Amino acid sequence: MIRFSVHRWAAGPIFAARSLIGEKSMVEHSLDENRLPTLSRSRELRERLLNGKWVIGASVLVLSLLGYFEDVAWPLLAASFLVLAFAVVLTPRKPRLAKIRAGLAQRNVWPDTRIKAAVEALPEPSFLIGPKGIVRFGNMAGHQMFPSVEVGEPLSFKLRVPEFLDALARVTQGGDAESVDYAERLPTARYFRATFTGIRLGPGNRRSGKLPPDFVLLVFRDQTEQRRVEQMRGDFIANASHELRTPLASLSGFIETLKGPARDDAEARDRFLDIMSSQAQRMSRLIDDLLSLSRIEMKPAMSDAEEIDLNNLVHQIGDTLAPLLEELNVSLEMDLPETPLHVHGVRDEMTQVFSNLIENAIKYGQSGGRVRVSGRLETRVPDGRINAVLSVRDWGPGIDAEHLPRLTERFYRVDVQTSRAKKGTGLGLAIVKHIIGRHGGRLAIRSEPGNGACFDVILESSES
């Protein structure tokens, strides 16, 4: 009976030992594949014995009682004890050892496919950084934006910005998420907001406080366009304030003069009133253009679009500008096709576009004595669709090449004094560009100093 009991005690541990040896080999194989550190043999044995201390103590007590009361041979009892101890070593009763091994795995494992898939799905350039600052993974957007950042290398080798690396170090040590502004100057200026966020694969240790993260997720959010818009807004406000302040100061000065020294001077009063009227008209034109530009930018879509014949539209604008042509002694030539140039758009906005372009050509190309408006249909390559092209050309002094890229900026002028003398606000071409852009077209500008300028409006024909 004793022999049967001993064999029964031995059979269970031996079976458990076989299964655990297989599981142990699988765990160690997995750790080796991930290049993870394993526990030392002495520490592992100590942890297993500590986990089974109550089982070993109870076994010693039971075997001692059997040897005393049942008169069982002591060698047999010793062998049974060794089998039980061996089983205890291979079968931890508490998850403490498993937790330690899992903690080591979490601290050093390379990101699995699920984490990689989540990072790859992010639209922003993103990288996973290990505890020692090594790049573990980067999504496609990240490698396209920062091709020099390679997996397996320290991030500090490629992005050497002190504030950037300091934030990474703090988050790596267990700090809260941080954001840092980062700029790339070459080949073009790009601005980013870099956000560092710690990722923990398991629960933290409450007794020791917050544990360092297993990974740090680095996400770059492109703020170049936002910075550009903010700069444009600031420049716009500054320029608008300046343009309004100048005539306003002139009006205030003349009013003070009329109230004071020129109160009884009829000749001075008439001259000052003419100047004040001119300045008031300048302010009115500027405010009208500002409101017009604001309305165009606020409209999300062309809700009142219709089919427009550009030939007919240009002839109507020419009739409207007849007094200005006569005043400046400029002739307007029309070189338009016999067939209509139909486009889909908003009539009032198209009228504003060609009125601005033709009026500018008359004013700034006055020295050439003539302005020509020509139209044609062009076949687009490679889709074969048809564009309607309307060109406004003058033979004035022309524009230097350095000014052409900026002509459509708000308040940009080639010659400020000449523009103000021509009653320009610096917003006309900006309005033209926005309207054409809303209609899906584009504005092309060609000019040679001394040989005039040509403005081409290219719109998709509604007949294509």
| pLDDT digits 0-9 by tens, 320-363 | 888 889 889 999 999 998 888 999 888 888 998 999 899 989 98
* pLDDT of 259: 82
**Residue 455 pLDDT grade (very low, low, confident, very high; cuts 50, 70, 90):** very high
Q: Which amino acid is at 83?
A: V
pLDDT: is 250 or 430 the higher one? 430
C-alpha distances in Å from residue 301, one per residue of 142, 346, 349, 435? 34, 10, 13, 11
**Residue 91 pLDDT grade (very low, low, confident, very high; cuts 50, 70, 90):** low
pLDDT (tens digit per residue) in 258-299: 888 777 788 888 888 888 887 888 788 778 777 777 777 776
Say if residue 392's pLDDT is above 90. Answer: yes
- What's the CA angle centered on 276, arms 273 and 280, to 5 degrees? 140
Say if residue 28's pLDDT is above 60. Answer: no
* Whole-model pTM over 0.75: no
Q: What mean pLDDT, rounded, does the chain reach? A: 76
**Residue 391 pLDDT grade (very low, low, confident, very high; cuts 50, 70, 90):** very high
Here the tokens at position 217 are: 């997720």
